[in-house]
Structure 1
Amino acid sequence: MQVVNWLPRTELPFAAPSRPELLEPLEPEPEVLLSVAPASPADAPAQQAARVVERPKIEVPRPTPASGRPAAKPVEEAEEAPVVARPAPVPPPRFALQLLRAGRCLLLVELPTGESFQSRDPAYLLLKDMLRAAGLPDAPQIVGDPVRWPLLVRGTMDQGPDAARDFVQGFLSVQMEAAQCACLWLIGLPAVRFAGEKDAEAFNSELQIEGLGLAWAVPGLELLMEEPQRKAAVWQAMRRLMARWKESNE
C-alpha cells in the first residue's frame, strides 16, 4: 500500500518499541534561488516598454436624442432669452354719429340707438327743444350719412381709437370748409372723445380744437333723459355761449 511509516495512536500490547528518529519532525525543504543574469543595455528599452504599458483610452460617445439634434444644455447653463411683452391689441371703438346744421352751428350728435333720427324719437324731440332754447332753428338739416365706427367688419386696416379720431376730425374739417361755423356742438361722449379729444369731465365746457375752432361739449341726449338734473348745467353753459351764434345770425 506504499506506506513507509505508520505510527499507532495508542501503545499496542506486545509491540516492539518505536524508533526515536521516526518521531522527530521533518526539516523544511530548502528554497532554490534562481539567479537571473543582468540584461544587456540593448534590451533595456524593450524591457521598459514591456513594464510601462498604458491601457488605450476608449472614448464613450455621449447619448444624443432620437431626432439626431445635439442634447440641450443644462438649465443652469442655458442662456435666458429676454421676454418681450407685447402690448395687448386694443379693440376698435363702436359708435354712430350724425352731423346736423342749425343756423351757423354744426351739431355732431351721438345716435343713441345707432340708427338715424326719426321725427318722433324722444332723443330727437329733446334736441329740438335745446335748439329752440338756444335761439336756433329747431329743424336741423342732416349733413351726410351717419359716421359709423368701425368702418369695416373685416380687414387689416387700423380701426383703433387714433384712427377713429383722425377720421372724425377729417370729416368735420371738410364740412366746416364748405360753410362757416360759429360753434361746433359735440353732443355725447363719442363726439367729445373723437372730435374734441376729451372725456366726460369736459361736459358743459368750451373747447378750442386745432383745425376745428370753438366747440361746446354736451352730454348725450339719452344721458340727459335718464338724468334730467344735468339739464340745468347744460342751460347755464348754453347761456354763456349763446352770444357767439346770435352775433353770427345778425
Structure 2
Amino acid sequence: MLIESRRRAYLSAMQVVNWLPRTELPFAAPSRPELLEPTEPLVATPIAPAAVVDAPVQPVAKPAERVKVEVPRPSLASTRTGAKPADEAEEAPVVARVAPVPPPRFALQLLRAGRCLVLVELPTGEAFQTRDPAYLLLKDMLRAAGLPDSPQIVGEPVRWPLLVRGTMDQGPEAARDFVQGFLSARLEDAPCVCLWLIGLPAVRFAGEANAESFNRELQVEGLGSVWALPGLELLMEEPQRKADVWQAMRRLMARWKESNE
C-alpha cells in the first residue's frame, strides 16, 4: 500500500497535476474543495450571418491543366503483323458466298433394242412394269421405228445421287461423268449404231445438252451418235410433241434398218 508521499512522487513523474481517486485512499491527504466543484460546460459562440456574407471569398488558385494531345498509336495486332492503320488500310473486297448446288436427282434405265441402246428416264423412279403407260408408249415408239418392241434390260437402273450422306462430290459434273462412264462401259461390251436419250436427265447428263436439243441428233465424244428425245411423261402430257418425234425418227430410221439387213 502506497503512502501519500510516494503516491505524489509517482503522479509527478507521470506529469499528473490533478486527480481524484474513485474510493477513499488510506493515508491520503484531504481533498481540496475547489477540485470537487462541477465544471461549467463550454458553449460555442455562434457566428453572425452577416459576418459570413460580408467575409471576402478568397479564390482558390487551380493548377494550370495540361492540354492532352491524342497521338494515334498502332494496335498490337497491326504492329506484329505489319498491317496498315485502319484509316490507311484499303477496304477489303466483299466476297459473295455462292450457295452450294444441290445434287441432281434422277433415275435412268438402259435398254437394248436391236442395234440401238435406249437410255430412258424412269418417270416414277422405279423400274418399268409391263402395264405401265410409260412403258407401253416406249414399246409403241420402238415398234414404229422398226425395232424390237420388247427391249432387254441392261444392268440396274442408274440412280443419282449415289449416297444419301457423305462428303463425296455429287454435283452435276460428277453425275455427268458417272452416266457417261456407265454408257462407255456398256458400249465396249456391245456397240450400237445409235443411242437414244429419252428424258431431260438422260439428255443433260449423257448428251451434255438441254431441252432445246430434243428431236436432234448429237455427236458426243466417247458415245458416238445420240438422239435426244422428250421424256415419256412429257409426251403423254403433250401429245402434240409426238409429231416432232415421228419426223425426226424418219430421218434416222435408215441407220438402224440398214444394220439389221
Check if 1:143 corresponds to 2:143.
no
Mapped to 2, the partners of 1:211 and 1:69 lie a distance apart of 57
- Residue aligning to 1:246: 257
- Measure, in 1, the Cα distance between the counterparts of 2:142 and 2:176: 26
1:194 aligned residue = 205
* TM-score scaled by length of structure 1: 0.70
Matched, 1:184 2:195: yes
| AA at the equivalent of 2:98 | P
Q: Distance in 2 between matches of 1:122 and 1:148?
A: 21
- How far the C-alpha of 1:213 sits from its partner, in A, is 0.5
Q: Which of 97, 104, 117 is 1:106 aligned to?
A: 117
Residues 246 and 69 from structure 1, CA distance in 2 versus in 1: closer, same or farther, beyond 3 angstroms? Answer: closer
Q: 2:175 matched to which residue of 1?
A: 164
Structure 1 SS opposite 2:178: helix
Unaligned runs of 5+ in 1: 1-54, 63-67
CA shift for structure 1 position 79: 4.3
CA RMSD of aligned residues (A): 2.7
Tell me how far 1:77 sits from its aligned partner.
Answer: 5.0
Structure 1 residue 180 displacement after superposition:
1.8
Q: Aligned-pair distance for 1:60?
A: 9.7
CA spacing shift, 1:69–1:242, aligned 2, 3 Å: closer
Shift of 1:249: 1.0
Q: Percent identity?
A: 82
CA distance in 1, matches of 2:77, 2:217: 69
Moved over 6 A (4+): 57-62
Q: Which amino acid aligns with 2:245?
A: V
Aligned mates of 1:60, 1:182 — CA distance in 2: 88
Unaligned runs of 5+ in 2: 1-63, 79-83
CA distance in 2, matches of 1:58, 1:129: 98
2:92 is aligned, of 56, 64, 81, to 81
Deviation string 1:44-64 (CA, Å, 9 cap, x unpaired) is: xxxxxxxxxxx9x899999xx
Structure 1 equivalent of residue 24 of structure 2: none
1:1-250 matches, within 5 Å, as 76-77=87-88, 79-250=90-261
In 2, Cα distance between equivalents of 1:155 and 1:190: 23
Seen in structure 2, the aligned counterparts of structure 1 residues 61 and 237 have a Cα distance that, compared at 3 Å, is closer
Residues 148 and 58 of structure 1: CA distance in aligned 2, closer, same or farther (over 3 Å): same
Query: 1:125 corresponds to which letter in structure 2?
Result: L
SS in 1 for 2:167: coil
* 1:60–1:145 Cα change, 3 Å: same
Give the superposition deviation at 1:199: 0.4
Distance 2:226 2:187 in 1: 12
TM-superposed CA distance for 1:89, in Å, is 1.1
Normalising by structure 2, report the TM-score: 0.67
